[in-house]
């Protein structure tokens, strides 16, 4: 198929290259920052509208809700190149409420819309092992599924309503943030008490406390390797979505709010672009370490 891909950052670039490697024809909008391997692999168009004009399916992988709106509906955006029968797949992590609005606007142009945010970070993107959480009509999801299978392993159609995938991703980010905070507190406690945090981690990995966060992020905390990964500022964005959605529904997310404040401590000290495992620095500050 002819596939447009917009958003070629840490995760979008390897995702797009998996599609190309499978034999699909790749189209991307021109950017000064466009990686050389993408320029070689893809047909480079002037803008997002031209990409949409030439493609059957257009995939977005951009940072935040305003970015998706601009790419879709801004000047020379995707909407200008849409014709009935095309499919838009948004794999960004954005507002569930805004997603419903975007899907309705795309539907009025006679096109399908699937929101399919992902989890798994840079490693999952490079290994085509992402978890993909999709919302949208079954017919649109099934059309997108073969592409998802080239980029991910755990693929779930969460619901028929656009935005269902985004709700699932927000829930995912709550769990990940709270697990990072729990591991950070445990390792800082162990270190403050005089134990070797590396050996504590090794012991805990054999018991009920084991998790992917303990396996991957605890090692980063111990070795002080905080190159992203998944940036703190992006996790802050996701937790803002959780907290604002909870406020709209009249519910409280107290532990999510605490994790957000821990991220804010690190961001305020200049660490917004560090990996989210660097949350441990906030715990260490409060421990006088």
**Residues 6 or more apart in contact with residue 166 via CB below 8 angstroms:** 93, 94, 95, 96, 99, 115, 117, 135, 241
- Taking the C-alpha atoms of residue 37 and residue 14, their distance in angstroms, rounded to an integer, is 10
Tell me the H-state helices in the chain.
12-21, 36-41, 48-54, 65-73, 96-107, 121-126, 138-151, 164-192, 197-204, 212, 218-223, 232-249, 254-266, 280-286
Q: Which two tokens stand for residue 34?
A: 């466009």
Report helix, strand or coil for 35: coil
d(CA 217, CA 227): 11
d(CA 153, CA 70): 30
Q: How far apart are CA 15 and CA 172, in angstroms?
A: 20
Q: How many CA atoms lie within 13 A of 18 on its CB side?
A: 20
The position carrying tokens 């709209």 is 248
CB contact at 8 A, 134 and 108: no
**Which residues have a catalytic role annotated?**
169
C-alpha distances in Å from residue 186, one per residue of 130, 221, 257:
28, 11, 19
| CA–CA separation, 285 and 289 (whole Å) | 6
């Amino acid at each position: 198929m002819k596939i447009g891909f917009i958003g070629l950052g840490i995760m979008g670039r390897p995702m797009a290259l998996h599609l190309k490697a499978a034999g699909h024809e790749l189209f991307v909008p021109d950017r000064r920052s466009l990686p050389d391997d993408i320029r070689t692999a893809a047909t480079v168009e002037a803008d997002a509208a031209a990409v949409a004009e030439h493609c059957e399916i257009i995939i977005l992988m951009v940072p935040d809700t305003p970015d998706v709106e601009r790419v879709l509906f801004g000047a020379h955006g995707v909407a200008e190149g849409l014709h009935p029968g095309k499919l838009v797949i948004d794999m960004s992590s954005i507002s569930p409420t805004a997603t419903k609005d975007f899907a309705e606007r795309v539907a009025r142009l006679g096109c399908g819309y699937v929101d399919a945010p992902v989890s798994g970070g840079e490693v999952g993107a490079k290994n085509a092992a992402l978890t993909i959480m999709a919302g949208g009509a079954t017919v649109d999801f099934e059309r997108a599924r073969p592409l998802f299978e080239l980029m991910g392993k755990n693929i779930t159609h969460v619901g028929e309503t656009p935005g269902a995938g985004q709700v699932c991703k927000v829930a995912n980010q709550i769990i990940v943030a709270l697990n990072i905070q729990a591991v950070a507190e445990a390792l800082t406690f162990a270190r403050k008490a005089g134990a070797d945090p590396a050996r504590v981690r090794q012991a805990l990995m054999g018991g009920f406390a084991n998790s992917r966060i303990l396996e991957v992020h605890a090692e980063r905390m111990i070795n002080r390797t905080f190159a992203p990964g998944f940036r703190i500022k992006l996790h802050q964005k996701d937790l803002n979505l959780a907290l604002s959605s909870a406020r709209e529904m009249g519910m409280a997310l107290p532990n999510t709010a605490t994790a957000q404040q821990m991220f804010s401590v690190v961001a305020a000290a200049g660490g917004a672009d560090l990996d989210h495992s660097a949350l441990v620095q906030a715990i260490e500050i409060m421990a006088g370490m």
